């Protein structure tokens, strides 16, 4: 398992909790593109739920679950800790459905988790990318 940390200066951080998660997904997408991932789709939905970001890098389809937290709360509960067994099971089903729909059954794939911890006072985000976080 490989972990990367990065910081981005936050220019427009929303104080609206509804948009907080979307803002984290935007930061995760920026991080992924900067690190050579090609974005295939965002917010893929089917009856099992939603995958935040689907990318491809080096021929591997990478499904990304993004979890965003305010730094005030992250010390007690890290964002990635909310990807529990039930969520992992849903993610596997979603990925399998996406692969069938897009004829990627023969492609290698993995599920990553990106946690975004936002510090509203410094306007910085810390990104933790956990590759192969969920085993298929």
What CATH number is given to the structural domain containing 18? Answer: 3.40.1350.10
What total number of domains does the chain contain? 1
pLDDT in tens, the chain (136 residues): 233 444 454 545 555 555 777 888 898 999 999 999 999 999 999 888 899 999 999 999 999 999 887 765 555 555 556 667 787 778 888 889 898 898 988 889 988 999 888 877 777 778 889 898 776 5
Closest to 48 (Cα-Cα) out of 107, 18, 88: 88
Domain range spanning residue 71? 3-134
Can you give the pTM of this predicted structure?
0.81
What one-character-per-residue DSSP string does 52-74 give? EEEEEETTEEEEEEEEEEEHHHH
């Amino acid at each position: 398992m490989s972990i990367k940390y990065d910081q981005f200066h936050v220019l427009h951080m929303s104080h609206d909790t509804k948009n907080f998660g979307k803002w984290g997904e935007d930061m995760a997408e920026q991080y992924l593109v900067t690190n050579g991932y090609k974005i295939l789709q965002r917010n893929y939905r089917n009856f099992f739920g939603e995958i935040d970001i689907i990318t491809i890098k080096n021929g591997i389809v990478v499904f990304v679950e993004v979890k965003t937290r305010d730094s005030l709360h992250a010390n007690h509960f890290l964002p990635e800790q909310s990807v529990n067994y039930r969520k992992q099971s849903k993610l596997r089903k979603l990925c399998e459905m996406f692969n069938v729909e897009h004829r990627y059954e023969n492609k290698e794939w993995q599920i990553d988790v990106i946690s975004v911890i936002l510090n509203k006072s410094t306007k910085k985000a810390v990104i933790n990318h956990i590759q192969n976080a969920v085993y298929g």
